[in-house]
């Protein structure tokens, strides 16, 4: 069981780095919860591969800094589609 978790953690890290995606996107792709992705990336990955963990941490920090912008775009699109439907 432990081996599966380590493999999943490394796969998640590589996916996030390759696609520069969010925790939510990775969770959706792998069919697991955001909490599991977050725990894998922030805790387990440090024990498995520290340099990979640092690379992922940089992307997650960038995502965190940009999240208010993404939220604004999502809200704008939501209301734009509602307006077009009417």
Distance CA 31, CA 71 (A): 23
Q: Is the pLDDT of residue 86 over 70?
A: no
Q: Is the pLDDT of residue 38 over 80?
A: yes
Distance CA 65, CA 69 (A): 9
Q: Which two tokens stand for residue 29?
A: 């792709």
Q: Where are the domains of the chain?
A: 2-85
Total-model pTM:
0.77
C-alpha distances (whole Å) from 22 to each of 45, 73, 75, 82, 84 are 16, 16, 18, 26, 29
């Amino acid at each position: 069981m432990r081996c599966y978790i380590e493999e999943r953690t490394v796969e998640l890290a590589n996916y996030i780095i390759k696609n520069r995606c969010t925790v939510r996107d990775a969770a959706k792709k792998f069919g697991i919860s955001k909490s599991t992705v977050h725990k894998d990336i922030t805790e387990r990955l440090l024990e498995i591969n520290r340099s990979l963990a640092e690379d992922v941490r940089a992307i997650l920090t960038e995502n965190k800094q940009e999240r208010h912008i993404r939220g604004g775009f999502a809200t704008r699109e939501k209301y734009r589609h509602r307006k077009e439907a009417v």
